[in-house]
Amino acid sequence: MLASFPGALILNDFNRIILYPLKQINALITELHGFLMKYKRPSWDETFMGIVYVVSKRGTCDRGRNAAVVARGKQILSFGYVGSPSGEPHCDDVGHLIRKVTHGDGSESYHCVRTDHAEKNAIKNAKSLRLKVKGATLYTKMTPCIDCANAIKKSGIEKVVCVKKYHRLEGEEILNKAGVKIVYLTDELMKYKKQ
């Protein structure tokens, strides 16, 4: 009998046979699932990190396409994303401006120098609005680089929340020495071409 009613479901309702379209059954199941599943409100760290991912879509360099949000308590003070200085060409439009860096230990890494990093832009944006970031938390997708770590240290930001680790750990070392707390949401390493 069921085979003769494709796209429908037969249910017994008080000794009656009723034909329900599967679309209606699916809608009822979805509604019931939502009712039974308790909504979990995101923490403030999860909320601000979600904003980081939205802001990162404004980034103009696909090597990480990073963003940063600076917040104190439950209030966003500023945000920034990786991008070229105003009026300059963007990586997404003209390609990367890659420089090879040889480190003290002899290892080499490659960096795009066309753009300003998200963390420095977030701090600069707060400063342009005359907002103090001392005691604030910075949220970002990866461990800050050396330059951004130094900017964070000088600004008085007390905590950095990252999703992933950067492939070089000098920035983390600078923040640790300065007493800036670093929290990682995962153990993953940020990867992109030609690190």
Q: Is the distance from CB of 163 to CB of 185 less than 8 angstroms?
A: yes
Question: Angle, nearest 10°, between helix axes 118-128 and 146-155?
Answer: 30
Query: What pLDDT, on a 0 to 100 scale, did the predictor assign at position 13?
Result: 53
What pLDDT, in 10s, does the model give residues 45-101?
999 999 999 999 999 988 878 999 999 999 999 999 999 998 999 989 998 888 888
pTM metric for this prediction: 0.77
Residue with tokens 């003769």: 4
Provide the residue type at 46 as one letter: E
What pLDDT, in 10s, does the model give residues 19-55?
667 777 777 777 777 667 777 889 999 999 999 999 9
Query: What pLDDT, on a 0 to 100 scale, did the predictor assign at position 40?
Result: 84
Mean pLDDT of 4-13: 51
Tell me the C-alpha distance between 108 and 102, whole Å.
5
